[in-house]
Amino acid sequence: NAGVTQTPKFQVLKTGQSMTLQCAQDMNHNSMYWYRQDPGMGLRLIYYSASEGTTDKGEVPNGYNVSRLNKREFSLRLESAAPSQTSVYFCASSEAGGGSNQPQHFGDGTRLSIL
């Protein structure tokens, strides 16, 4: 039971480098999400995709871009990494958007350090 798979699990970057975090789900979910988790701040939404072909900004979108490649995959790109983007990144998916009792299912996270 793979669920939501994130790659890589760990990454260290230098300031200014770019990278893409990959996320794939095998539950045929319509909606996918990217969050970041910083110490003492809970999870904050970066971007989300309510359905294939759509993306929208969340609470903290600056410095990030996303691509909903197909129904299964939702990637997060840092074009020019900054130390403030050091965080743990979680991808999640859910069956439907608002009005549903279905929870979001989370990947195991990517620990990203920007030096």
Partner 1 sequence: AQKITQTQPGMFVQEKEAVTLDCTYDTSDPSYGLFWYKQPSSGEMIFLIYQGSYDQQNATEGRYSLNFQKARKSANLVISASQLGDSAMYFCAMRGDNQGGKLIFGQGTELSVKP
Q: Which residues bind partner 1 (CB under 8 A)?
A: 31, 33, 35, 40-45, 48, 50, 56, 58, 88, 90, 92, 94, 96-101, 103-106, 108-109
In this complex, which beta carbon is closest to partner 1, that of residue 44 or of residue 71? 44
In this complex, which beta carbon is closest to partner 1, that of residue 42 or of residue 53? 42
At residue 10, the 3 state secondary structure works out as: strand
In this complex, which beta carbon is closest to partner 1, that of residue 25 or of residue 31? 31
Q: How far is the CB of 87 from partner 1 (least distance, A)?
A: 12
User: Which residue, chain included where needed, has tokens 């975090």?
Assistant: 21
Whether a cis peptide bond, with omega within 30° of 0, leads into 8 is yes
- What backbone phi and psi angles, to 5 degrees, belong to 111? -90, 115
What is the C-alpha R_g of the chain?
13
